[in-house]
Amino acid sequence: MAGENKALWGGRFERSPERFTMEFGASLPVDRKFWREDIQGSIAHARMLGKQGIISMDDVEAIERGLLAIGERIEAGDFVFDINDEDIHMSIESQLTRDIGAAGGRLHTGRSRNDQVACDTHLYAKHLCQALAEKVLELRACLLKVAQDNMGVVMPGYTHLQLAQPVLFSHHMLAYYWMLTRDFKRILAAYDAADVLPLGSAALAGTTYPLDRDYVAQQLGFKEVSKNSLDAVSDRDYLMDLAYACSVCMIHLSRLSEELILWSTSEFRFIRMDDAYSTGSSIMPQKKNPDFAELTRGKTGRVVGDLMGILVVMKSLPLAYNKDMQEDKEGVFDAVETVCDCLHCMTGMVSTMKVNRERMREDAECGFMAATDLADYLVGKGVPFRQAHEIVGELVLKCEKMGRTLQSLSPAELAEHSSYFATDAVKAVDIDAIVARRTTAGGTGHAAVATQLEQAAQQLAADQALAAAL
């Protein structure tokens, strides 16, 4: 059955598409999300047309009033979206023409849906970047506070998930802070890539009308206009940049989620998750599961999949616009929404978790984590590092067989193993001293972490100011 309503582009066609193909090709269920951006862009375009004398100022006033009225109806939930309109642009324009008559038909002068959808998407992407940046800043502030509140708490550091060297818990939290700082920079880069006006490029070749693109850019808050009309209507790099930023951020959240999951187990007992971020079992009364950390970990695959989706959509597309690009939005919108939700949840989990300082300290004092410092002690006595490494390795093996720790050995026992060990060797295996000695910039020593906390606070304040200025 042919479609009942004739499309705005239907002049060249003898009949409308079948209902199924109309629904299959419609983008309205997705792009209706940026109705505000469509109205905003259309108002700026109409004002420019009037300024340039392309349409009358009476038409401009009628168009602007009509568009604002449509916006109010959409906001109130009184606007009927008809799938026959195909996309948000036609939905709004067709209603505008019904409302104000011929003036509504003049709105599309000098533009195409190709540059119109590109403009809407650029605007919407900027808003998505702003929302995402705010959520990242919230989690960074939370991590910084946890690091500040727990300064001095010692925990075991790991490589290969095996006990390695003691570190400050604050140092560990700050590692995630800096990951998210890089995520923030990637989001700003995606915002910067989106901050370019494509409107005025028309379908692909520009237009013969004397458009003032700089005026429109100023009206819409874009920093510049696109340099090439072919590129402008077919560019989706900024969406790929945003999807990539989301994917890397989710990778970081998945790593933090995994550690929260491990730390909350009975085997680790480093933290206790708040009840608000845990669930129970339908059969086992004792269970307290870190479900929301697990969900965050699991949703990483979804967001990475969204990135793969848009990369493959754009692969090998010839210039300029192709209908394939209709598939550019849904995955990216999903990625941003998912990451924002996960950031919100992670902020709650981290801010409410209880840190078991005693348990962390207990594990920091086992596992021969003082071995490197004991080797460094020998180096200080003139022993080549490789030889010192072997001496301490043999000592660790002996302790393992005896069920002893390095800290339990007396100066005499150490001297029996190597004449290079003197009475001060026991200081080399003191956990607090081991941590404090890591004074290099970025290290886990108390002084180095104190400096890092100051740097993190300064960076957070600077980035909050950047976000506020977007």
**Number of neighbouring beta carbons within 10 Å of residue 253:** 26
Q: What is the C-alpha separation between 389 and 366, in angstroms, rounded?
A: 19
Q: Which residues contact 257 (CB under 8 A, 6 or more apart)?
A: 293, 294, 296, 297, 346
Token couple for 52: 């340039």
Q: In this structure, which amino acid lies at residue 190?
A: A
Q: Catalytic annotation on 446?
A: no
Q: Which residues contact 383 (CB under 8 A, 6 or more apart)?
A: 391, 420
Q: What is the C-alpha separation between 43 and 156, in angstroms, rounded?
A: 59
Instruction: Please name the residue ranges forming H helices in 224-356.
Output: 229-234, 237-263, 291-314, 330-352
**Cα distances (Å, whole numbers) of residue 348 to 93, 228, 464:** 43, 45, 20
Instruction: Please name the residue ranges forming H helices in 77-168.
Output: 88-100, 102-105, 113-149
Which residues does residue 156 pair with via DSSP β-bridges, in sequence order? 166
Angle formed by the axes of helices 57-76 and 35-51, nearest 10°: 170
Task: Please tell me which residue in 56, 112, 122, 160 is annotated as part of the active site.
Answer: 160
Token couple for 437: 């000695």
Number of Cα atoms under 13 Å in the Cβ half of residue 9: 10
Which residues does residue 392 pair with via DSSP β-bridges, in sequence order? none
Q: Catalytic annotation on 112?
A: no
CA dihedral 448, 450, 453, 454 (to 10 degrees): -100
- Is 52:211 a contact under the CB 8 Å cutoff? yes
Please report where in the chains the tokens 């890089």 appear, as a residue.
182
Task: Please tell me which residue in 281, 344, 408, 410 is annotated as part of the active site.
Answer: 281
The Cα angle at residue 29 between residues 337 and 190, in degrees rounded to 5: 40
**Number of neighbouring beta carbons within 10 Å of residue 405:** 17
Q: Which residues contact 305 (CB under 8 A, 6 or more apart)?
A: 331
Which residues are part of the catalytic machinery? Answer: 160, 281
